[in-house]
Structure 1
Amino acid sequence: MLMPSILSNDFMDDFFGVPRVTGFGRNFDNDFSRMMTTDVKETESGYQVDMNLPGFSKEDIKAELKDGYLTIKAETNQNNDSQDDDGNYIRRERYTGSCSRSFYVGDNITQEDIHAAFKDGVLTLSVPKKEEIPQKDETKYIAIEG
């Protein structure tokens, strides 16, 4: 049986590298160490995945399930423009960043099986345990005419 990567000994094996982060901003280096850090807890019925996404809102986060891989993507565009009474800039800061992370959860998990909630900068995902459905080895014969 193919086991989801959530169950592997080295949880980091199935990630496509470390979280990919792009963007520029004054807090970029400080936030990188806290971005997308993930805790996985096994429960009786499945797994609870808690992912830190500081500075992102619910609208910035997308979760996609494709070919057995659960991919979490977060993207933000922040603009902190301040002007004086004459319209001159006193401060002008922008931050644009995105990150993504993927987990192999198995081919038999559907998007309806996964439940997600976002609160206080933490994305919580509930992924159920499901057994792989064994495929039947069926012999197919070719009809011979004549």
Structure 2
Amino acid sequence: MFGMIPFERNNDNFFDIFDNFERKFFGNSSAALPDFRTDIRDAGDKFVLEAELPGFQKEDIKLDVKDGILTISAEHSESKDEKNEQGGYIRRERRYGSFRRSFDISGVDDEHITASYQNGVLELHLPKVIPAVPESKRIAIE
């Protein structure tokens, strides 16, 4: 069991001090951006999904359902330019953000899903499928 716990090798090499400093200062450049946070709760006849998407506008968010999979995607880009009298840039900033998450919604009535977005929180109401009760019928004997 202890062999499966990830660890970092330490060879006590003098040059590792500089490598470790660079790694800690700049961070891991290959790390993926974290997904947006979601909370899902069972509200009896439906599930309520709350997704935190601060900084996005309602128009930046897309909800797609295909083959029992709900996909929430959000994309935002912003650009700010400040120029001096000669038209040269004093400051130019660009920002881009994109997130995507998918959820299995088998057991949900996807025709009646509702969504609202307020104060950076997307709220989805996912009504549960009402199970069909088998009918009992009498067969006539001839």
TM-score, normalising length: structure 2: 0.64
Q: How many residues align?
A: 103
Distance 1:113 1:61 in 2: 19
Describe how 1:1-146 pairs up with structure 2 within 5 A: 36-106=36-106, 109-110=109-110, 112-131=111-130
The equivalent residue for 1:137 is none
User: How far off its partner does 1:33 sit?
Assistant: 7.4
Change (3 A) 1:80 1:50: same
The equivalent residue for 2:137 is none
Q: In 1, are the aligned partners of 2:77 and 2:95 still within 8 Å (CA)?
A: yes
Distance 1:49 1:108 in 2: 12
Name the % identity: 40
Q: In 2, are the aligned partners of 1:35 and 1:53 still within 8 Å (CA)?
A: no
What stretches of structure 1 move > 2 A for 4+ residues in a row? Answer: 32-35, 107-110, 131-134
Distance 1:97 1:84 in 2: 28
Larger radius of gyration: 2
Distance 2:37 2:108 in 1: 26
User: How far off its partner does 1:108 sit?
Assistant: 5.8
More helix by share: 2
User: How far off its partner does 1:128 sit?
Assistant: 0.7
Change (3 A) 1:115 1:43: same
Unpaired runs of 5+ residues, structure 1, are 1-28, 135-146
Distance 2:42 2:122 in 1: 16
Unpaired runs of 5+ residues, structure 2, are 1-28, 134-142
The residue type equivalent to 2:100 in the other structure is S
**More contact order relative to length (CA 8 Å, sep ≥ 6):** 1
User: How far off its partner does 1:131 sit?
Assistant: 4.0
SS in 2 for 1:59: helix
Distance 2:125 2:73 in 1: 17
Deviations 1:87-145 (A, max 9, x none): 221111111221100000116632x31100011111000001114569xxxxxxxxxxx
Q: In 2, are the aligned partners of 1:68 and 1:109 still within 8 Å (CA)?
A: no
